[in-house]
Structure 1
C-alpha cells in the first residue's frame, strides 16, 4: 500500500488581532434647549412665605411706578447736554439705555442680594420679574412694567421721524425685553449649545479587523509538516 502524504500549513495565530468591543460615540450638544427652573414643591412655597421678599415688594411701594418716568426724563436731559446730539439719536439712546437696564434688572440677574438664607434658596433661580407678586401674572405692577417700554418705544419712534433704521433698532430692543415678560416663558430658560442631559451614548457598528490582517505574510510562513499513515497508527 502506497503511503499518501498530506501537507498542511501550520497556523500562526500570533498575528491575529483581537476583536474590539463596541465603541461609544457621545451625543452631540443641543443647539437650543428650554428647561424649567424651580420645583414648585410644598417646601418651596413654605420657604418663600416664611419672610417677606423685600427684593420684589418695593415694586408695589408708593412712588415705585413714577420712578421709571423720572429716570427716563432725567436720562433724556443728560443725553441732550452732550455736544452735537440730535433729537433722533437722543431718543434712541434713551430708549436703548432704559431697555438695557430694565432687561438686566428684571430678567438677567437671578436670586436676591440679601437675606437669601431666610428663604432657604427658594429664589436663587428666579429673576426679579418672576419674584414680583409671588409669580402671579397680569397684576397691576406687571402691567405697568409691560406698558412703560411700549410707551417709550412709541415716543422714540415718533421723535425719530419714523426713520426706518432707528425704528428697526428700537423695535428689536423692545422685542428682546418684552419676550421674557410673557406668561408662557415664566420660569423657562433658553440654553444654547448645552450637553445632552440623558448621558447616554450612541453605540456604533462593531469594529472588525481589516481583511488580510490576520493572514501571515508569505515570508513568515512556517515550514510545512509532512504527514504519513504512520502518524495515524
Structure 2
C-alpha cells in the first residue's frame, strides 16, 4: 500500500529517547583532519569571562525594566542564561562553518568540546557557572518557593544534558521524524 508524501509512519520501536550512534571511520577521519573552530573557542583566552559579562548585562537589563522586583530580576537572569546555554551547547547540532565535510553534524557543541572528553577544565567551568548562578539567584530571591521551583527547573534542564550519563542521548519531543523512517 503506497503512502502519500504527507503521511509519515513511525516504526513501532521508535522512542522519544534515543542514543546517537558512534561516528563512522569516515566521520572520525574528517574530525581529525581540521580543528573544530566551533568548539575550540571555549578554551580560548577570555572565553570564560564572557559568561560573567552576559550574566551581569542580563541582570542590569532586567533591573532597568520598571516594575520588576529584585527577585523577579534574578529569576529572569537565571532563566535567560539557562535558556541561552541550553540552546547553544545542547540543542543546536553540527557546525555553522562548511569546512569539515559534515563531520560534526550529529553532535551538539557540548559533545564537540574537547573531542567529547568529560571533566576537562572547560566542561567543569561550564557545569559550575549554572550551579553558581542558581545558588546566587536562589539566595537573592530569599528562598521563595515559587522562585526556587522556577530556578531549579531551569537549572536542571541545563545540568542534566552536561552529565556523562547523558552523553549522545537525544530526546525527540521537538524534533521532526528521523530520516530513516519510511
3-state SS of the aligned residue for 1:72? helix
Deviates more, 1:171-180 or 1:26-35: 26-35
Question: Which of 108, 124, 136 does residue 127 from structure 1 map onto?
Answer: 108
2:155 is paired with a residue whose SS is: helix
Q: Which residue in 2 is equivalent to 1:228?
A: none
Higher relative contact order (CA 8 A, sep 6+): 1
Higher strand share: 1
Q: TM-score, normalised by structure 2?
A: 0.85
Give the Å deviation of 1:192.
Answer: 4.5
> Please, which runs of 5 or more residues in structure 2 have no aligned partner?
1-8
Q: Which of 35, 40, 50 is equivalent to 1:52?
A: 35
Q: In the superposition, relative to structure 1, how do residues 134 and 77 fare at CA in structure 2: closer, same or farther (>3 Å)?
A: same
Considering fraction of residues, name the structure with more helix. 2
Aligned pairs (5 A) from 1:1-233: 29=12, 32-115=15-98, 118-192=99-173
Q: Partners in 1 of 2:181 and 2:37 — Cα distance? A: 38
The answer on whether the counterparts of 2:10 and 2:181 sit within 8 Å (CA) in structure 1 is no
Shift in alpha-carbon separation, 1:45–1:89, aligned structure 2, 3 A: same
SS in 2 for 1:35: strand
The 8 Å contact of residues 95 and 156 in structure 1, kept in 2 or not, is answered as yes
1:42 CA displacement: 2.5
- How much does 1:80 deviate? 0.6
Change (3 A) 1:94 1:27: closer
Unaligned runs of 5+ in 1: 1-25, 200-233
What is the rounded CA distance, in whole Å, between the counterparts of 1:123 and 1:188 in structure 2? 15
Contact kept, 8 Å, 1:30 with 1:192, in 2: the verdict is no
- Please report how far the alpha carbon of residue 119 of structure 1 lies from its aligned counterpart in structure 2 after TM superposition: 2.1
- Bigger-Rg structure (1/2): 1
| Cα distance change on mapping 1:102 and 1:192 into 2, 3 Å | closer
